[in-house]
Structure 1
Amino acid sequence: MKKQFLFLCLYSIMFLTSCISEPMEFTNTGSKLSIGDTIPEFQVITLDQDTLTQDSHQEKTLVLVFFHTACSDCQKELPVIEQVYRDCRQDSLWQLICIGREEKATAVKQYWQQHQFTMPVSPQETRIVYDRFAYNGVPMLYIIDARNIIRAVYSDQKMASYEELKEWILKVNEENQKDKESASFFRAKSLTSPL
């Protein structure tokens, strides 16, 4: 009886500690996408009125972050991402976009100002963009290469550290540059080769 009670308590705690309450009918959890998958089409507009799509990051590494400002895990992770952004933003080989999930622009803007965040952000009042990437849970972070292939996924189950994020960005940037150089080499070679 004690074991059953303990099991029930632990099981209840797992559900109560979710960052944002999710409908119980979800059978799948976390990301819909895995490492090696191509990202779906999307379009968002930032608070600065920049339009971003899956192809906006031409030849760059893209870091895509889904969040909600009321989420305690997001409140821990967003400052880490902001620090990486501040430390690496002079590197023109990567791009970051934070996408709010089911949250009004005024709330996100206020949160960004309150925490002095400088990261590009796109508040979304719906789950339309989010649902293309994930079933449930925030934060959800994707590191995507220049070919729109997912290289890493982090969630509230395992959030990225400063070191991990920076390492991934540098690694994918380097691979993007090698791919670009290889493509240029083969393109130049085909132009100079006799028919």
Structure 2
Amino acid sequence: MIKKVIAAVVLVSLLTVAIVQAIDKKTEAPQTSSEVSAAAKEGLSIGAKAPDFELKTLSGDTVKLSDLKGKKVMLNFWATWCPPCKAEMPEMEQFSKQIGDDTVILAVNIDPQLDVKGFVNENKITFPVLLDTEDKVNETYQIISIPTTYFIDSNGIIQNKYTGSMKLDIMKKYTQELK
């Protein structure tokens, strides 16, 4: 009988501690507006100017986004270990063969410490693969999940964003909507 009473007291005590801690969390000081807005953001917003960046390709060439002004840009963030990224690569390659000179695909790799060159060769990728070695572009574009693709118009404005593995028809649709 005493064991049951002790067990009940311990259980009630633990429950009381849990409730008090839950109430304390609710009454903590509110976050600043910048903390709230930073937490609420899920990437850059449509209609915003695409932040400029400069990255090296696998072959060592430098690509600067602002140098592509006047062209439509499909800016894709991906990693070699990401199954949805791997799934969309063949369709991105197919799309790269169908686009005209006014459209560019840039695939920003966020895990350059891995064998990106091997992945590109194995999958016969011919569009530019950029290496974000310092993770700066990934952070600037506020990438939360991959793959994430931004569609940037010829004036450098983000017109659309797609998160997840894209099919060819989506790539065509979003780039056709760019001016």
Sort the TM-score into its range (normalised by shorter chain).
0.7 to 0.9
Measure, in 2, the Cα distance between the counterparts of 1:140 and 1:29: 17
| Matching residue within 170, 179, 182 for 2:176 | 170
- Partners of 1:65 and 1:99 within 8 A in 2: yes
Measure, in 2, the Cα distance between the counterparts of 1:53 and 1:76: 27
Q: What amino acid sits opposite 1:138 in the alignment?
A: I
Confirm whether residue 142 of structure 1 aligns to residue 150 of structure 2: yes
Match of 2:61 in 1: 50
**Post-superposition shift, 1:147?**
1.3
**Post-superposition shift, 1:56?**
1.6
- Give 4+ residue runs of structure 1 displaced > 3 Å after superposition: 27-31
**Post-superposition shift, 1:31?**
4.0
* Higher-Rg member (1/2): 2
**Post-superposition shift, 1:47?**
1.5
Confirm whether residue 38 of structure 1 aligns to residue 44 of structure 2: no
Match of 2:166 in 1: 160
TM-score where L is the length of structure 2: 0.72
SS in 1 for 2:150: strand
- Partners of 1:31 and 1:140 within 8 A in 2: no
Measure, in 1, the Cα distance between the counterparts of 2:161 and 2:119: 25
Residue pairs, 1:48-127, within 5 angstroms: 48-88=59-99, 91-104=100-113, 107-127=115-135
**Post-superposition shift, 1:92?**
0.8
Measure, in 2, the Cα distance between the counterparts of 1:126 and 1:40: 16
Confirm whether residue 131 of structure 1 aligns to residue 142 of structure 2: no
Number of matched pairs: 142
Measure, in 2, the Cα distance between the counterparts of 1:52 and 1:62: 12
Q: What amino acid sits opposite 2:166 in the alignment?
A: A
Unaligned runs of 5+ in 1: 1-26, 176-195
Q: Percent identity?
A: 24
Match of 2:12 in 1: none
Measure, in 2, the Cα distance between the counterparts of 1:142 and 1:84: 15
Measure, in 2, the Cα distance between the counterparts of 1:85 and 1:135: 23
**Post-superposition shift, 1:97?**
0.9
